[in-house]
Amino acid sequence: MSIMKTSNQKERIKEDWTSYVDEAYRGMLKENDTRELGKLLAQANEYLQRDWINFNTSLHVTAETLGNDNDKNRSGYDLLSSEGLRIQSKFRSGALHLECTRRISKKNIGPASASGHVPYGVDEADVFVFTRPNGNYEDPEDAEILAIPAIALEDPEHPGFLKRRVPKKIYKDYIGKAKEVLEELEREKQNERK
């Protein structure tokens, strides 16, 4: 689709999407549209978490922008450490839900899709890192970073899959411990490689 320009057009179409993304972001802030802000910031959150982890822990992580298994129907992980720690990155302003919308196919039948959404498999990532903006969508320095090992999120009623939501009784044990959790999991990966 092309946008026709006329000689009396007062403003020209911008060269790239960056200014439009910024304009949308500012509009959502003004309207306090936290749901849409969360969707917009989810992708940027992967890069925020990459930087937070690289600057605040002993890990070195990179963003997995090309996908890690070439299967768009499987979520996998977003960040990868130099030792192979697989990190699933989440931006959540409210409840820490883990359901994702994937195509319900033969491999996702049964407990994997009981709610119409598909839970993560316990083997898809080693740790889930959540960014919680705590009501401030403008300053990432105010966000809380929470790291929870995937194994701590396994659903005992559906072995092999994670809980659909992280209960408070689980996540309260990880508040303020992201650095320690990530570094411990990284040490475990190092030991596995020996």
Q: Average pLDDT of 172-180? A: 97
As a whole number of angstroms, the distance between CA 39 and CA 109 comes to 27
As a whole number of angstroms, the distance between CA 42 and CA 149 comes to 20
Condensed to tens digits (0 to 9), the pLDDT of residues 2-61 reads 555 555 555 678 788 999 999 999 999 999 999 999 999 999 999 999 999 999 999 999
Domain ranges (residues) in the chain: 18-193
pLDDT of 191 over the 60 cut: yes
Condensed to tens digits (0 to 9), the pLDDT of residues 55-111 reads 999 999 999 865 555 555 556 789 999 999 999 999 999 899 987 765 445 554 555
Q: What single DSSP character describes residue 146?
A: E
Spell out the alpha helix ranges (H) of 32-117: 34-56
As a whole number of angstroms, the distance between CA 180 and CA 22 comes to 35
pLDDT of 147 over the 80 cut: yes
